[in-house]
Amino acid sequence: MSLLEELYRETIMQHAQKPHNFGPLENPTVRVGGNNPSCGDQIELFLKLDGNVITEAGFTGHGCAISQSSASMMTDLIRGKTLDEALELERKFKAMVVEGQPPAPELGDLSALQGVAKLHARVKCATLAWNALEQAIEEVRSA
Ligand code: FES
């Protein structure tokens, strides 16, 4: 394993073992559930908004190291972003893990998940939280 791969692995394990923003938010603006149909693992995502800006993000649920670390890093990254900026991050994250494109710099630590693009069965794990984010934004906009 290269040094870089080892660093990525360490980042993933740190977030999976001690996920950031784990726990429900009180009085969220929106709350959505999502699941990975291939394994049954679930996530619930909570967002608080001030106008168009995500001021807080949290999640609960259970899943593998990839899904938990992805949710942990995503909830760190989207705090303080507008809904459009969050959707743009989602697009860039999916371009990396679904299409195998190089990580966009804005993704920060999430670039640790770039190897998922070669592990097709794990793509649904990495995108679980992001699909919930997309659904949450849709719900806010259609309310
Ligand atoms: Fe279930 Fe990864 S194995 S989310």
- What is the pLDDT tens value at each position of the chain, 143 positions in all? 788 888 999 999 999 999 999 999 999 999 999 999 999 999 999 999 999 999 999 999 999 999 999 999 999 999 999 999 999 999 999 999 999 999 999 999 999 999 999 999 999 999 999 999 999 999 999 98
Q: 101 CA distance to ligand 1 centroid (A)?
A: 22
> Using DSSP, how many helices (H) and how many strands (E) does the chain show?
4, 3
Q: Which atom of ligand 1 is nearest to the CA of 64?
A: 2
Is ligand 1 within 6 A of the CB of residue 41? Answer: yes
SS3 62: strand
Is ligand 1 within 6 A of the CB of residue 12? Answer: no
Is ligand 1 within 6 A of the CB of residue 65? Answer: no
The pLDDT of residue 143 is 86
Residue located via tokens 């705090």: 79
Is ligand 1 within 6 A of the CB of residue 68? Answer: no
Please state, in angstroms and rounded to a whole number, the distance separating the CA atoms of residues 109 and 76.
Answer: 10
Closest C-alpha to ligand 1, atom 4: 125
Domain that holds residue 25: 3-142
Is ligand 1 within 6 A of the CB of residue 74? Answer: no
Number of structural domains found in the chain:
1
Domain of 51, CATH number, reads: 3.90.1010.10
Q: 44 CA distance to ligand 1 centroid (A)?
A: 14
